[in-house]
Chain A
């Protein structure tokens, strides 16, 4: 990971992050700690469809956060979560994160606490983030069988080779079977096309 990778935050998130050390209404360190803890808990918990235990409900119920007002809590929560998600997904180094936070007027104590929390939870957040997303099924294995067709009911004597190919695919842990038949020429065509694909990759590499 090189140090010059881009670490961008949207203007809305930056504006909301400025609220953490706003001159008019500063966030106390206790409130900051509670928020940070809740954000980290949400981001590191493996998501489940079970609705019985919702960490965000702690945000409502917390007495010390009550005076901030729901709108501000929502701004702080979303901006801090966005920051941590972005930092984790871009694999930002702590020094870069520190530099970014300094531009957002954060106090020294806030920065050190966040960096400590972040470095402790970075890998966990990354692991949770990895869970999301969709991908087409992956090719895992191939089975093949060669038959010799002597004759068919409809076409009489045929006398030709026929390949039976089973592609075994892995779709999010579920095995799928994709079977097809092909004559020798068709199979050769397929193999050549695939070889072409492999070659083109090499060509790109040597460009």
Chain B
């Protein structure tokens, strides 16, 4: 029983019950722990249950809660035994143990879920995919060529180096983009991207824009499985080929490999010629570009020079106009001078007036400005101070928090260290279970043996009974026949009859006594079980509960009546 209690307590802790370390058996369970444990088990079995795991203080609410729990135990966990509110409030150990055993069996098993297959090896994954594809394609029926779309690969994959183009033509990129032929635009984009990707990944730059790459590849990739006789032929002619560099011997089965060798030199030559031409053209283009840049620079210089000259010219023209005006004033000089002087004086007076006015306006504004400035400085300083204080405060708080958290970490660590490593291992339990099973088997065998004994005894009794009856009928017949003639025989017959009835009476009595003893045993067992249930104590408890409820009810009634009176 202690083991089951250990298992139950451990499971309850796992479910989230706060059971103290001193509690080691169900006998130490209080009503609170029982109800908390049962409710938490039920909730973890079925998450949407709405049950309170704290015991309410007043009795009726307690009864209600316990009734609900009992109902949930029957519905959710499928508890089949007798279960009521009293089981949880004042249940015996065995009853509570049974309830917990059923509940813990029904707990969802978190650890036993199969672990999902981890991400498989990518290489294996691709291999599997290839296999599946090949299998699928092997089962595809043959189709005539005109059923397949034949318009694929009608354009050659020729590309241009886009980055080079962009670099070459510093300013005029777009002109270059639009000069790329239509058919080479997409391949160029793809190749640019691929070479950049390769540069990212492998620090290797693909040569981009080499027109002949694919053709070359085609020529180089003749390493294929040749048929047996072609290999032999190759052996035969290899030496000859090396000595005389003649074209291949006429009808050779190497035709099967596809490439016709007579085309090779011309295409290569063409390619080379074209690349040479292309290089020349590019060179020309570069030189033209540099020339063009020089010329544009010169033009810009000229333009700036022209602007400078224009500005100079304007200044000179203005000077000339002024000089002309002065020259016009010269003939009537004294009168003009007089006028100028008066004008100057009046202007000076005006100037002084305006200055006074300006000072009048300026003073208050200046004062305002100074006041505002000083205020602003003060407020800014205060703000800074406040923020500084705030940061200092927050810093302190954070430091304190860190300290408390460190303390908590230490506490938890010591707690972890102090936690007992569970000694109840799985193998131990399995061994226990195995020994129990063996015991049960032994007992079963014994029971069978006893049963066999009982059966054989019964058989013996039956046979003896038959024998007795048969002998009685035989003797009865003989003596009856003799009694017709003999007087003593008649008396003997009478005795025989009385003997027979007496014996059967005795038999009946023995049977009755056997039955009675069996009944007595049953009753004794029943009495024992009843005694074990502690009915008297329970009844007393129930009575006390009832009285308490009555008292509470009375109090409530009194309150109600006083409330009505008031």
Contact = CB atoms under 8 A, between A and B. Distances in A.
Interface of A: 8-13, 42-43, 45, 47-51, 54, 56-57, 59-60, 70-71, 73-74, 77-78, 81-82, 85-86, 128-138, 140-141, 170, 172-173, 178, 180-182, 186, 189-190, 193, 196-197, 201-202, 204-207
A55 to B, nearest CB: 9
A140 B145 contact: yes
A204 B132 CA distance: 10
Contact of A205 (B131, B145, B192, B225): B131
Given A13-B196, A59-B177, A132-B155, A197 B185 contact: no
Contact of A74 (B153, B156, B173, B229): B173
Interface size class of B (residues with CB under 8 A): 35 or more
Given A11-B200, A54-B182, A193-B225, A74 B189 contact: no
Interface in B179-204: 180-183, 185-187, 189-190, 192-193, 196-197, 199-200
A138 B145 contact: yes
9 contacts: A12-B196, A13-B196, A50-B182, A56-B185, A81-B186, A180-B253, A190-B227, A201-B134, A207-B131
Contact of A172 (B135, B153, B196): B153
Contact of A180 (B183, B227, B251): B251
A129 B150 CA distance: 15
B255 A178 contact: yes
A172 to B, nearest CB: 6
A181 B251 CA distance: 8
Contacts of B542: none
Given A172-B153, A181-B251, A85 B229 contact: no
Contact of B190 (A85, A131, A170): A85
A11 B153 contact: no
Interface string B203-234: 00000000000100010000001011100000
B162 to A, nearest CB: 6
A178 B257 CA distance: 11
B154 interface: yes
B293 to A, nearest CB: 16
A202 B178 contact: no
A109 to B, nearest CB: 26
A157 B181 CA distance: 62
A81 B180 CA distance: 15
Contact of A85 (B162, B172, B186): B186
Contacts of B214: 134
B328 interface: no
A147 to B, nearest CB: 15
A70 B174 contact: yes
B536 to A, nearest CB: 72
Contacts of B135: 205
A77 B177 contact: yes
B189 A82 contact: yes
Contacts of A140: 145
Interface in B239-270: 251, 253, 255-256, 258
B359 to A, nearest CB: 49
Q: Which 10 A-B pairs have the closest CB atoms?
A: A10-B196, A140-B145, A205-B134, A193-B227, A56-B178, A47-B183, A82-B193, A10-B197, A74-B173, A60-B174
